[in-house]
Amino acid sequence: MFEKLKPSQSRLPRSHPVSKSKAPNPWRAGRSRKEKSLLVRNNLLWAAAQVVGEVGYEAASIARITELANVAQGTFYNYFESRQDILDTLLPSLGKKMLEHIRNKSLGGCNFAELEERSFLAFFEFIDNEPHFFRILNEAESFAPTAHKMHFDAISERYLRFLKRSFENGEFPNYKPEELEAISFMLMATRSYLAIRYVYGDGQHHHLPENVSKTYMKFVRFGLEGVKRE
């Protein structure tokens, strides 16, 4: 989960020339027309993520995106109406991918604390796997505000549903239903600031230290539940 706090640009990885790595989906070989179409679209979104992550929304041109995706500029318009269209699609697409990753990693948790720990670790695993995500999220508020709101609404609504289910199962009895929304925003904000400090703190990308995860879960268990359970 992630919330709409805006870290300073200096905390983000510094811009550098766009990567020359190859698009991940070899769409030309031996696939149906429908499969090829989906793979080309996915490659364009992948390339857009690389370009925005490395040079920012403002410098993310269609030419840069299509060059990295290895498709003609004319092909771009078969999938997106404009440069702004792909920029508006980028963050919600990554957000959906993030939520799916977190959901899969959280399967099997027996209570709120277990599910929260799994989803917390899954979130930081996701930004390890998608190192451009944080800059894309940060700049979207200015360059793709509609997409930013869509992403923020999807994340906050999912988190609140999660808390309500746990509350209905009898967890955190010292809280009231109307307090759950505030709790969800507190937890989302915590993830944001932990990412700013420990993942991007010096302008480079780092793994979240294990002791930070343990401290977060100590806060969740004893702060929300109100009592220490042996």
pLDDT tens digits along 91-142: 999 999 999 999 999 988 889 999 999 999 999 999 999 989 989 999 999 9
Residue 111 φ then ψ, to 5°:
-150, 180
Backbone angles phi, psi at 4, to 5 degrees: -90, 30
Domains of the chain plus CATH, in order, are 9-224 (1.10.357.10)
Residues 195 and 159: their CA atoms lie apart, in Å, by 18
CA distance linking residue 10 with residue 171, whole number of Å: 40
Amino acid residing at 7: P
Of how many residues is the chain composed? 230
Residue 135 buriedness (CB in 10 A; 0-12 / 13-18 / 19+): buried
Other CB atoms within 10 Å distance of the CB of residue 58:
10
Q: Which residue has the tokens 């289910």?
A: 165
The angle at the Cα of 146, spanning 126 to 66, to the nearest 5 degrees, equals 65
**pLDDT digits 0-9 by tens, 7-65:** 444 344 444 445 555 666 665 555 688 888 899 999 999 999 999 999 999 999 999 99
Q: Please name the amino acid found at residue 225.
A: E
| C-alpha of 38 from chain center | 21
End-to-end CA distance of the chain: 28
